[in-house]
Structure 1
C-alpha cells in the first residue's frame, strides 16, 4: 500500500494562519451580554444530524480574526464549520481516528513554532475567544482529513504504472531504485474507550517495560503470554515508501531486533517490532519510489485538488438544515 506525501500539519496550519498570530493584546473576545450568552447554545445549522451552535460559530469567527481574515466572518465561520462537520462524519464512517496524544503534540509544536509555551498559547486562545479546545478540534480534523485524502488517493490508483517505471529505469541506464524492506510485528496494549482516562498512563508504563525487555521477534508472542489485553499482529514485509506516516520516522530510526518507542493510538498504546531490514530492488520498488518522487514534486497540488473533489462529493450528499 502506497503512501501519498501530503503537506505536514505544520505547513497546513502555517498556510492557514500565517507565520505568527496577532498579538494577544491586539484584541480580546467581546463579552456577551446575559441575553447574548443564552443564545450561544442555540443551534445554527444541522449537518447530517449533527448540530453546530452559535457558540461554535463565534469561536471560529474569532479564529478567523486571529488569521487576519476580513469580510463577513460569521458567514465564513459557518461555512468552515459545515465543511469540518462533513469531514468529521466521514472520518467516523471510515474509522479514521486521531488520538489525543497526536493532537496534543501538534498543539505543543504549534506553540513552539510561535515562540510560546503551551500555557501561553492556551491563554492567548482563550483571550481571543477561540479557546484551546476549538483549536485542538481544528487540528484533529486537519490531521484526519489529510489521512482520508491520502487513503482516497491510494484507492484511486495514483501509482506510476509498471510500464512507465520500466521506461524510466531504461532512461537511467537500467538501474533499478532500491528501498529498505522492513519485517514488522505490531504490539497493541488495548485501552477500552470507557476506561481510557483511568488506565492510559499505566498502559504506557507497561508498554515501555515490555519494550525494555524485548529480546527479538521470535520471542515476542511468548513475552506477551499471560499479559492482559495485549495483541500481537504480524504485519509482514513493508517497503519503506509504504510505511504509515505516523510510524515512518520511528521505524526508520529503529535497528533490526529492536522496538519503536510506544505511541498512543485510538486502540490504546502501540509499538512496532522491527524484526528484519534488508535492501530490495525490483519492479515493485521502482513503482513505489518513482510514485513518491512524483508526489513530492506535485503532492500539494494533487492533495488540494483531491481534497476539493472529495469535499464537493460530501456536500452534494449531505443533509444541511438551517433551523
Structure 2
C-alpha cells in the first residue's frame, strides 16, 4: 500500500505540473479531488455526477451522493477489472438503452437531453457501466456459493404456508447499506426521504441511484413472489400496503429496506392443508438417554423399522398427513426439522420419543413455483453477500480527500 501511495502522489505531482500550463477551466476539469487506492476521482467527475443526479431529482444532497457513489464505483470497477468481469460493448449499449427507456427515450435521445443540461455522455455511460460490472462480478464470484440452497430449506420456507398459493405480491425494493456509523446515518436519512415519495417513477429512479441490491439494474423490480416466502420481518409491512404505496424504512441485518407494492393477487389453490407431511414417531420406554442413542444412529425413517421390529406394534407410528391435520405437538417440532432429521424433544405421556421427518410433498395440485422460491432465496443471499463484500472492500481501500 505504501508503494501504491507513492505512485499516486507522484502521478498527482505530474498532473499538477502539467495542469499549470492549462487554462483555468481545463485545470478544474482534471483537478484531483479524491484518491481511492491507486485511482483518482477528479473534481470534474464529481461535478458531472452531481449535475446528473440533480437532473434525476435524486433526494438529499446530490454532491454528497455523487462523492459516495464515485468512491464505491471506483472500488467496484477495480474488483471487476482484476477478475476480468468487465462488460462488453454490447452489454453496455443494452444497459444504456434500458435506462433511457425509463424516460421513453432511446439512449441517443437521452444523451442529447443530458448534453443540453451540461452533462456529458461519459458520465451517463460510467454510471450504467458500474452497475453492470458490479453485478457481473458479484454473480461470477458468489453465485455458486449463494445458489447452494438445499431443497430442505425451500421446503421449510414453504412449510409454514404450504405453497405459493394465497397472497402473491409484485414489489420493488431499495436496499441501502449499513457499513459503518456514517453510512448507516446517511442511509437512514435517505430512506426517510424515499419513504415520502409518491410515485413509482420516483422510486425506480431512487432504486437505480442508491440501492445495493442486485435488482438495482431493474429499477428495484422483483417478479411475483408469495408473500410468505419473504423474510418474516418485512411480511407485515408489505401486507399493510395498498398497490402504489411505499413502506416505511425497515432495518434488516446489513441493510435498510424500503419497498413499493406494485400489485397484489390471491391464488385459490396451494393452501397449507395441501402440504403432506410424512413422519415417523418411535416411543422409547427406556428413557431419554436411549432415545438420544437411537436418534444418533438413524439416517432415514426406514432405519426405525429395524429398531422397532421386536417392539409392540403401537410403539412405532409411520404415516403421512396434511400439515394442518398433524397433532399440535408433532407439528410444533416438524416445523423445525429438515428431511431425515430427528428430535427427541417430544414426550408422550411419560415416555421419550424419537420423531423424524421423512418428507414433505404436495398432497394436491398446487400453483407453487419452486424455481421462483429458490430464485428469490438466491437473490436474497446474493444481495446480502454483495453488501458485505463491498463493505469489506471499502474497509480495505485507502480513501483520501485531495480537495482540502
TM (norm. structure 2) is 0.38
TM (norm. structure 1) is 0.47
Structure showing greater relative contact order (alpha-carbon pairs closer than 8 Å, 6 or more residues apart): 1
Name the larger-Rg structure.
2
